[in-house]
Amino acid sequence: MNPLIFYLLASIIIGVSGKDERTFAVLRFNNEAGRFSTEGRMDPIVYPGTAASHSHGVMGGSNFALTVEGDQLLDSKCTNAMIANDKSNYWVPQVWFRSPENGTFMKVPLFYMNAYYFFEATNDEIKPFPPGMKMVSGDASKRTPPASGALQLDPSQGEVLAVQFTCATIDDNVNRYPPDSDGLIAGLQDPNNKGAGAGFPVANCDGYASPLREDIHFPSCLNPETDLDDYKNSMAFPTDAGAGKSDCPKGWTHLPHLFYEVYFDTLQFQNAWVPDGKNQPFVLSNGDRTGFSLHGDFISGWDAETLQTIIDGCDAGTSGMDTCPVIKGGVNSNDKCQILSAFPDPADEWIPELPGNNPLSGWGL
C-alpha cells in the first residue's frame, strides 16, 4: 500500500476532532557540546545525491544521508531526539563569524537547539507528519528585506514572514536594529517584539544563557494531492478561521506547527568586534550578510502513532516532550547519535572562504 494512503487511513482511525486552545510540547536533543549530530554540505531535500551549496547543522535520526527516500528514516539505528520514536531530521544553515581584521571565517558553535511542536486551536483534526514528508521554510536565495520585521504567519494577511532572529541583551534598552532601518543596509525591528526582527541584529546578544537565536516557523497544512517529496508545493500556512482558531484549506491535512529555536554561541566572539549600532560580523553559511535568507529543513521520521498520542495528550510546554506520560518507545535520555558527514566542513579553525566557496552577498556588496 502507498505509504501516504496508509498514513492517512491510520490517522483517520486514531485522530481526534478540532481543538479549542493551543497546546504544545518542546522536543529537546542530546548533542555533543557545541555540535549538531552532523555538520557539512548535505541537504537531501534541495540537493539530493550531491554536495549542497552551503553548510548545515543537522539533528536527528542516523539514516540521514545525501538521499533520503520514503520512510528510510524510520529504520535509523539511533537518534539524538529525546523521544526515541522520532527519527526525523532537522537542519539549519550554519552561522559563521567574519573577522573584522582580515576577513577570515570561524564557525560559530551551536549553543543548543529545540523543536517546538505547537498544536494550534483549529476546527480541523491535527494529524501526525507522514513518514518521509519533506518541508522547507524560508528562502535561501533571499537578500531583499521583507515588508516588515514583524512575525506574520497568516497568508490571508499579506506576505508571510516565518523566520526571524532573536537577540536577548543584558541591557533591554539596547537597539537590536537601527530604529530608522528600511532593511537596505541593516535588519528590520519587529514592532511587536523588541528582542526580535528580520535579518541579523546589530547588537551583542549577551542575555543570560541566550546568545543569538535563529527562529524558524514551518507551515502546517499538507496538500494530500501532492507528493511528499514536493516541498515547494505541498505545504501552506493555515489562515484565520475566527474565534482564535486557524484552519487549513478544505481537503488539506492539518499537521503540527513546527518551530525551531537554534542558539549559536556568539558570546565567544563578543570581544572580537565592536557594536556600532549599524553593522555586525556574522554571516550565514550561504554567504548571506543580511540574514534574510534564514531557512530550515525537515524530513519526518516519526512513528505516526507516537506522534498522534503526543498531539492528543501531551501539553508539557517548555518542560519538554520527554516529560509526557506513556510515550510509545520511551525516552532517549543520552544517545547523542553522531552521524558521519559526507561533505564535512574544513577542520581548520579559521578559513579564508566559506565551505562551498560561497561569496559574501547582501549589505554593502
Show the cell assigned to 107: 564557525
Nearest C-alpha neighbor of 306 from the set 282, 330, 342: 330
Contact between 32 and 339 under an 8 Å Cβ cutoff? The reply is no
pLDDT at 11 over 90: no
Amino acid 203 reads: A
- φ and ψ at 105, to 5 degrees? -120, 140
- Rounded mean pLDDT of the chain? 94
pTM of the model: 0.94
Segment (H or E) for 120: none
> Region 353-362: what's the mean pLDDT?
97
CA dist 212 and 265 (Å) reads 7
355-364: b (≥16 Cβ within 10 Å) or e:
bbebebbbbe
Nearest C-alpha neighbor of 87 from the set 337, 340, 343, 341: 337
Question: How many CB atoms are closer than 10 A to CB 274?
Answer: 10
Q: What confidence score (pLDDT) does residue 17 get?
A: 62
CA dist 209 and 198 (Å) reads 22
Q: What confidence score (pLDDT) does residue 323 get?
A: 96
- Tell the burial category of 226 from Cβ atoms under 10 Å away from its Cβ (0-12, 13-18, 19+): middle
Q: What confidence score (pLDDT) does residue 178 get?
A: 96
9-43: b (≥16 Cβ within 10 Å) or e:
ebbeeebeeebeeebbbbbbbbbeeeebbbbbbbb
- Reported as a single tens digit per residue, the pLDDT across 321-341 is 999 988 999 999 889 999 999
- Reported as a single tens digit per residue, the pLDDT across 172-195 is 999 999 999 999 999 999 999 999
Task: Tally helices (H) and strands (E) across the chain.
Answer: 2, 20
Contact between 185 and 278 under an 8 Å Cβ cutoff? The reply is yes
